[in-house]
Structure 1
Amino acid sequence: MIKSSNGSESNLMVLFMSICFPAPYSLGAQLYGSGCRFTLYAPDQDCVHLLLWHQGHQPQRLAMREYKRGYWTKEVADVVAGQDYSFEISHNGQTWCVADPYAQAVTGPLSYQPPYTPSQSTLLARCQVVDHAPFDWQGVSSPQRPMCDTVIFETHVKGLTQQHPDVEPAEKGRYLGLISPAMLAFYQQHHINCLQLLPITACLPEPHLLSQQKTNYWGYNPYVWMAPDPRYAEKDAVNELKTAIRELHRHDIEVILDVVFNHTAEGGDGGPILHFKAIDQAMYLQDNQQLRNYTGCGNTLDLRHPAALKLVLDTLRMWATHYHVDGFRFDLAATVGRDGEAFHPHSAFFHAIAQDPILSTVKLIAEPWDIGPNGYQLGQFPANWAECNDKIRDTTRSVWRGDPGKLQDFATRLMGSRDFFSASHWPDHLPINYVTYHDGFTLQDMVSYAKRHNHANGENNRDGHGDNRSANYGIEGPTDDPTIMAVREQQKRNMIASILFSLGTPHILTADLISHSQQGNNNAYCQDNPTSWLNWQTKDHAWSNWFATMIARRNAIVPRFIDALSGTQRHLNQIAWRHSNGDPIQDHQWPNLQTFSCQITLGAHHSNAGQSTLIAINSSDTAQALRLPSDHQWRIVCDTATDETTVTAPEAFQCLAAKSFLVCIDSDWL
């Protein structure tokens, strides 16, 4: 504590000093009253220089001092937001420029010509000082929507609007395109309340892609985690992204970021020297001095390492506080929970998130696997996490394709996959239910291709999922055959209804709203072209309207049943499983079933006590007569046998069409 002239402790002076001079352990570029403090954690270095770049001039080269073991710092007067900088270090006898891992903006080109060299690093590694204070949020706050009321729409910033005819040219494929009038109208029409953006942090293409003049379109090769990718901005990525999020919030739409903390763009031993390999290789898991590769990308970040853990937590807090994002989807999230080779749901990372006053309040979604030992961890994440549920994806595809013996498992998936996600932890620990994701077939391709067609990726069609559980229904690819087209449309309705009306949080590929096709490419990660850019000219209005109506009905129906089946009240409701003739299903009958109905009735504890919903499935190729319970006045709100959306009253024996999914409610409470 600083002493005043009379010997008393001066809290005022301490406060003044903390405002004017950032703490030395605040890494990155920290502006203060008259300049900027640059701090880099680089314990592997004996000497670090700060480079300040000025257009058309040689950089100003300033020696940094080691404030404490591994912490290098330099205060520079008169530096303001917008200043370009990088760090100069030595590695294996060569001088390199490296990026600041804490940089909040980058200005260097996010590309290079392999092999990466020290001379190229002087351009690539350039970062920029950022001041977040001037941005005006205009009093707009986050919707803070419960997870059970959320429908997630997975979206690529560029692909969404690059070909949209009604988006201004300057906004196509950019952050501001997300909030163009055409897109805001689209969100409203389809009841979109949450966008999950594929990675938007600065990334680099892998060397093999650069050698083929391709790019990592999806963005899953992270370079600088705190910097928004400038390729999606017209001028200023920081402020344009903030503007997009503010206006999405103004329209009651949340934003979730897909984040990648399992590896970095430095790749394996032969990859480029970007930062960590030179400043602190201990951030990587080691095995006889070889980088461990639990991701398939060449290296694995070690969150047992204090510097790595701090960087990830600081990054998440930065996005939550400075950009007001509503949550994060963690790519290959089993990696962030590893303690060496073993995954632990009580790892330091999970505990740090749980006790953090900011991060514990946002949406947390895990992709619950990686390719390391025991990498499949579905259902094993902490109770405050949701998880991507591949079980419902695979089972839904199998059931509607006609694979035998899948209906019992399908019933489990419809009821929230409680074999993996105990309802005692609902609504906090919910499955994220999906049938399509960015990595795989689009919905249109699921019903149009029996095999993947990935030749354009340059890997001889060896990449991408092999087990797609898809079908073409007679012809591989597009067709004008009306019979095949009708079957495909019904199968699309079946799969989407299965996701929307199952218990959990639906995840929808935005491309599926307009039936976008990738021509059978189920791994279009390097296709920054019309293969991935949504084709708005082919939008089917009948399909789009049906989809939008079903989303609205899901939002009115499913959350109240999730609520009733959550926590201690989950056993107080009635669930009845029946054959189509109304008889109860016996356990031994499940393996051979092709049809069933499930009726859920809310118990007396619930505010809507006595209300029921009924879901009926016919996976066979012939129609069945469905006997509806006579103690309710039923209304059909979804019948995938048709694209009609009118709410109708069924007959006592309702025709359950072949390959169809039916949803009824017992009153007019939509």
Structure 2
Amino acid sequence: MTQIDLPTPADGTLLGAHIRDDGTSFGLWAPRATRVELALVDEDRTQHNHDMTAGEDGVWSVHVPGVGAEQRYGFRVHGEWAPEDGRRFNPAKLLLDPYARAITGGVDYSGPISDHTPDSDFTPDPTDSFAAVPLSVVVEDSPPPEPIAERRNLADSVIYETHVKGYTRLHPQVPEHLRGTFAGLAYPAVIEHLVELGVTAVELLPIHQFVSEPFLIGRGLRNYWGYNTLGFFAPHASYCSVGTMGSQVREFKEMVTALHQAGLEVILDVVFNHTGEGGHEGPTLCYRGIDHAGYYRLTQDQRNDYDVTGTGNSVDTSNPGVQKMIIDSLRYWVTEMGVDGFRFDLATTLLRDGQHHVRQDHPLKAAIAEDPLLADIKMIAEPWDVGPYGYQVGGFGSRWSEWNDRFRGFVRDFWRGNIGGVQELSARLAGSPDIFDHDDRQADASINFVTAHDGFTLRDLVTYDLKHNGANGESNRDGSDDNRSWNCGYEGETDNPEINALRHRQTKNLIATTILSSGVPMITAADEIGRTQEGNNNAYCQDGPISWVNWDSAEPWADLKDLTGALLKLRHDHPVLRSSRFRHGDQVTLLDGSPSGRKNLAWFGGYPHDNLVELADQEWQDGERRTLGMFLTDDRDDRTEEDALLIWFHGGADPVEVQLPGGPWAKEYTVLAHTGVDGELPTDPVPADGLVTIPGRTVVVMQAH
């Protein structure tokens, strides 16, 4: 493609709307515009326009006396209509401020929201869009939220991925008027559940202002997840319980304060890779009207969007002005809104250069690494997009952690019995060193998960072999067919007690494997209480009971919740479970410096008489093996006591008798937790070299004394 050369804004603090000097100053980066008007909009949509002045850095500015908080506004950007040069300027379209801190109103999808006529994507439409588009809102500065007492190391974190609206929309202890809002998530009963469970951070599905896709509106649906951002500085207005004229900023801050006071960090799922405008045939609400080629990746002819996100457009992060907008947004959410980390949706898109090639040395990535305000902020990548060479798992470097889809896929396969041996299991349990152990990276580079917002819930993973997405209006064609699920013998819900018992055991096995593995565990909200989406594995457009957490399921799935809490407490109490370092089976010394004869990581097969030596090469190659014992010893330099655990993962359907390692490994063992039912495992200590029968499909955690 032809790279355009645009000036970079010199001072990001001049962009957006800022109350100062008895009025408000407005700034907009529109480097190729020939004229920009600020439109101040009254409640009845009457407009008062003010011409703005252009600076050498492409920033247009104006100060308007007497304007204060809650003033609605937009921009009209003039310039040449030349789609062949990436210029689609059309002043008939009222545009949002990319730096708006609040956005009010919605989109009338039957209104004149496109910059082109219905007959041609490349002929300008002169119809004014003022009555059909959302508006930016002036927001008064306010103090940031109360910071968390101390941000945890990522290795000590347990991430809980949740949706602001869906988590509390049906919560019986949250007042009705607060359900589904920032205030609802901050309600004491909600926070109490999170704290008691043992998670340390909530990762919020997108809360930047977002819109629905036109095709969903045409089906009578709406975008629920929020991966269709319209404003990178504005909290989503409908998540506010009291208003949309700036109250959403205050309520978000109050939510962060409440979570921080409970010791919970806040991580935002941010979608900088594309916007809610879609391709050039879609609505023009902001960025396209400011500068099509300035904000979006275009094909060689400059007329069409180059899409590596699957949404119709891709934000052009090769442009320094766009890089600055993203950095300014991150800094704003950290300094003014109090967040503790970010999960970057389709992060590979952000690392593409002007030729759309992936570069791990991308200037945006370097700017994040060098920014002192972001130094202790958690950076988590979804390390792929849908473009060429988009799959970048393991490639993001030491500053980053990454969603580990290899963990998700293999752990699902192991527990449904679709694997050959245990060799890869050992790698996933050990933090996936085959993927991440390079370039001074640590084990917390791996974000371990078996479910996320996208795909089956944990309960559905053991209830359905097939997706059931009919409610999405695409004849069940949408959503992944690679679910790696197992319905335990019956498709859908059943009253069969044997099948239901197996499903409970399997959910415990999946969540136990996630919590007990090296790396950072991520739990999808309400998986611990058996949340179901009725087999829908692509509920992005289901803003209703399919997606909302049904808290009535908590009691029938109390055994899963109790085990999840018990395992998270074990993870907290035993640092050996949350080491940030990769273990390589190194010899461990005792506290007095003498050799212990143990390793910081060892693997055992458990078959009687095979325990005196670790798993042999031929056993690693045994495709029929379904049992693996992981021995972990705490080898931190600052440890004050000896701590070792032996954890068995048995994926076979039948019970297996294992012999416990003796010699230097331990004198005796005590079962701390397991995924079976009461009475299946011994409650008294078992001597080393003793035999223990592990039931089929069970995880057992033992303290090695």
**Same fold judged by TM-score > 0.5?**
yes
Greater Cα offset, 451-460 or 39-48: 39-48
- 1:36-69 superposed Cα distances (whole Å, 9 cap, x missing partner): 1111111232111111122236211111121225
Q: What is the aligned partner in structure 2 of residue 552 from structure 1?
A: 569
- 1:171-230 superposed Cα distances (whole Å, 9 cap, x missing partner): 100000011122122122211221000000101111101111211100001101100001
1:439 has 2:470 as partner: no
- 1:81-129 superposed Cα distances (whole Å, 9 cap, x missing partner): 2211111124565611000001010012255336635544445241111
State how 1:131-170 maps to structure 2 within 5 Å: 131-133=140-142, 135=143, 137=145, 140-170=147-177
Q: What is the aligned partner in structure 2 of residue 626 from structure 1?
A: 658
1:87 has 2:87 as partner: no
> Do the aligned partners of 1:147 and 1:427 also contact (CA within 8 Å) in 2?
no
Give the letter aligned to residue 350 of structure 2: V
**Secondary structure at 2:104's aligned position in 1?**
coil
Compared with structure 1, are the counterparts of its residues 414 and 335 closer, same or farther at alpha carbon in structure 2 (3 Å cutoff)?
A: same
Q: What is the aligned partner in structure 1 of residue 434 from structure 2?
A: 419
Greater Cα offset, 499-508 or 32-41: 32-41
What is the rounded CA distance, in whole Å, between the counterparts of 1:67 and 1:574 in structure 2? Answer: 61
**Secondary structure at 1:87's aligned position in 2?**
strand
> Do the aligned partners of 1:155 and 1:195 also contact (CA within 8 Å) in 2?
yes
Compared with structure 1, are the counterparts of its residues 185 and 69 closer, same or farther at alpha carbon in structure 2 (3 Å cutoff)?
A: closer
Greater Cα offset, 112-121 or 262-271: 112-121
Task: Decide which of 38, 41, 64 is 1:53's aligned counterpart.
Answer: 41
What is the rounded CA distance, in whole Å, between the counterparts of 2:306 and 2:489 in structure 1? Answer: 45
> Do the aligned partners of 1:29 and 1:36 also contact (CA within 8 Å) in 2?
yes
Q: What is the aligned partner in structure 1 of residue 20 from structure 2?
A: 32
> Do the aligned partners of 1:503 and 1:558 also contact (CA within 8 Å) in 2?
no
Q: What is the aligned partner in structure 2 of residue 107 from structure 1?
A: 104
1:657 has 2:695 as partner: yes
What is the rounded CA distance, in whole Å, between the counterparts of 2:108 and 2:443 in structure 1? Answer: 41
Q: What is the aligned partner in structure 2 of residue 301 from structure 1?
A: 315
* Structure 1: tracts of 5 or more residues without a match: 1-21
Q: What is the aligned partner in structure 1 of residue 615 from structure 2?
A: 585
Compared with structure 1, are the counterparts of its residues 327 and 567 closer, same or farther at alpha carbon in structure 2 (3 Å cutoff)?
A: farther
- 1:218-261 superposed Cα distances (whole Å, 9 cap, x missing partner): 00011011000010102211000100000100010100000001
Give the letter aligned to residue 526 of structure 2: A
> Do the aligned partners of 1:110 and 1:203 also contact (CA within 8 Å) in 2?
no
Q: What is the aligned partner in structure 2 of residue 285 from structure 1?
A: 297
**Secondary structure at 1:312's aligned position in 2?**
helix
Task: Decide which of 352, 363, 366 is 1:348's aligned counterpart.
Answer: 363
What is the rounded CA distance, in whole Å, between the counterparts of 2:682 and 2:139 in structure 1? Answer: 53
Compared with structure 1, are the counterparts of its residues 25 and 514 closer, same or farther at alpha carbon in structure 2 (3 Å cutoff)?
A: closer
Q: What is the aligned partner in structure 2 of residue 600 from structure 1?
A: 632
State how 1:454-533 maps to structure 2 within 5 Å: 454-533=469-548
Q: What is the aligned partner in structure 1 of residue 676 from structure 2?
A: 641
Compared with structure 1, are the counterparts of its residues 574 and 167 closer, same or farther at alpha carbon in structure 2 (3 Å cutoff)?
A: closer
* Structure 2: tracts of 5 or more residues without a match: 1-9, 79-87, 115-126, 590-598
Compared with structure 1, are the counterparts of its residues 47 and 166 closer, same or farther at alpha carbon in structure 2 (3 Å cutoff)?
A: same
> Do the aligned partners of 2:585 and 2:602 also contact (CA within 8 Å) in 1?
no
Q: What is the aligned partner in structure 1 of residue 268 from structure 2?
A: 257
Q: What is the aligned partner in structure 2 of residue 17 from structure 1?
A: none
What is the rounded CA distance, in whole Å, between the counterparts of 2:296 and 2:333 in structure 1? Answer: 24
> Do the aligned partners of 1:602 and 1:608 also contact (CA within 8 Å) in 2?
no
Task: Decide which of 348, 351, 363 is 1:334's aligned counterpart.
Answer: 348
Give the letter aligned to residue 479 of structure 1: T
- 1:593-615 superposed Cα distances (whole Å, 9 cap, x missing partner): 22121212344845257532112
**Secondary structure at 2:658's aligned position in 1?**
strand
Shift of residue 621, structure 1, vs aligned partner? 1.6
> Do the aligned partners of 1:543 and 1:643 also contact (CA within 8 Å) in 2?
no
Shift of residue 658, structure 1, vs aligned partner? 1.0
> Do the aligned partners of 1:261 and 1:330 also contact (CA within 8 Å) in 2?
yes
RMSD: 2.4
Task: Decide which of 235, 252, 259 is 1:248's aligned counterpart.
Answer: 259
Equivalenced residue count is 644
What is the rounded CA distance, in whole Å, between the counterparts of 2:12 and 2:695 in structure 1? Answer: 69
- 1:597-645 superposed Cα distances (whole Å, 9 cap, x missing partner): 1212344845257532112121112111111123333221221122689
Shift of residue 543, structure 1, vs aligned partner? 2.2
What is the rounded CA distance, in whole Å, between the counterparts of 1:203 and 1:264 in structure 2? Answer: 8
1:42 has 2:59 as partner: no
> Do the aligned partners of 1:424 and 1:566 also contact (CA within 8 Å) in 2?
no
- 1:559-586 superposed Cα distances (whole Å, 9 cap, x missing partner): 5651464799899843222211214322
What is the rounded CA distance, in whole Å, between the counterparts of 1:424 and 1:100 in structure 2? Answer: 40
> Do the aligned partners of 2:144 and 2:336 also contact (CA within 8 Å) in 1?
no
> Do the aligned partners of 2:394 and 2:402 also contact (CA within 8 Å) in 1?
yes
What is the rounded CA distance, in whole Å, between the counterparts of 1:273 and 1:121 in structure 2? Answer: 12
What is the rounded CA distance, in whole Å, between the counterparts of 1:515 and 1:365 in structure 2? Answer: 26
> Do the aligned partners of 2:413 and 2:484 also contact (CA within 8 Å) in 1?
yes
Task: Decide which of 230, 234, 237 is 2:241's aligned counterpart.
Answer: 234
Q: What is the aligned partner in structure 2 of residue 310 from structure 1?
A: 324
Task: Decide which of 239, 255, 267 is 2:278's aligned counterpart.
Answer: 267
Give the letter aligned to residue 677 of structure 2: T
Q: What is the aligned partner in structure 1 of residue 224 from structure 2?
A: 217
What is the rounded CA distance, in whole Å, between the counterparts of 2:61 and 2:147 in structure 1? Answer: 37
Compared with structure 1, are the counterparts of its residues 406 and 461 closer, same or farther at alpha carbon in structure 2 (3 Å cutoff)?
A: farther
> Do the aligned partners of 1:51 and 1:59 also contact (CA within 8 Å) in 2?
yes
**Secondary structure at 1:311's aligned position in 2?**
helix
TM (norm. structure 2) is 0.87
Q: What is the aligned partner in structure 1 of residue 55 from structure 2?
A: 67
> Do the aligned partners of 2:411 and 2:425 also contact (CA within 8 Å) in 1?
yes
What is the rounded CA distance, in whole Å, between the counterparts of 1:571 and 1:418 in structure 2? Answer: 20
1:611 has 2:643 as partner: yes
> Do the aligned partners of 1:216 and 1:525 also contact (CA within 8 Å) in 2?
yes
Shift of residue 538, structure 1, vs aligned partner? 1.6
Compared with structure 1, are the counterparts of its residues 224 and 604 closer, same or farther at alpha carbon in structure 2 (3 Å cutoff)?
A: closer
> Do the aligned partners of 1:426 and 1:566 also contact (CA within 8 Å) in 2?
no
Q: What is the aligned partner in structure 1 of residue 378 from structure 2?
A: 363
> Do the aligned partners of 2:430 and 2:583 also contact (CA within 8 Å) in 1?
no
What is the rounded CA distance, in whole Å, between the counterparts of 1:444 and 1:314 in structure 2? Answer: 40
Give the letter aligned to residue 288 of structure 2: K
> Do the aligned partners of 2:587 and 2:600 also contact (CA within 8 Å) in 1?
no
**Secondary structure at 1:412's aligned position in 2?**
helix
What is the rounded CA distance, in whole Å, between the counterparts of 1:520 and 1:558 in structure 2? Answer: 37
Greater Cα offset, 26-35 or 239-248: 26-35
**Secondary structure at 1:264's aligned position in 2?**
coil
What is the rounded CA distance, in whole Å, between the counterparts of 1:193 and 1:642 in structure 2? Answer: 28
What is the rounded CA distance, in whole Å, between the counterparts of 1:338 and 1:57 in structure 2? Answer: 40
What is the rounded CA distance, in whole Å, between the counterparts of 2:443 and 2:338 in structure 1? Answer: 21
Percent identity at matched positions? Answer: 36
Task: Decide which of 298, 321, 324 is 2:338's aligned counterpart.
Answer: 324
What is the rounded CA distance, in whole Å, between the counterparts of 1:551 and 1:423 in structure 2? Answer: 28
> Do the aligned partners of 1:142 and 1:254 also contact (CA within 8 Å) in 2?
no
Shift of residue 71, structure 1, vs aligned partner? 1.8
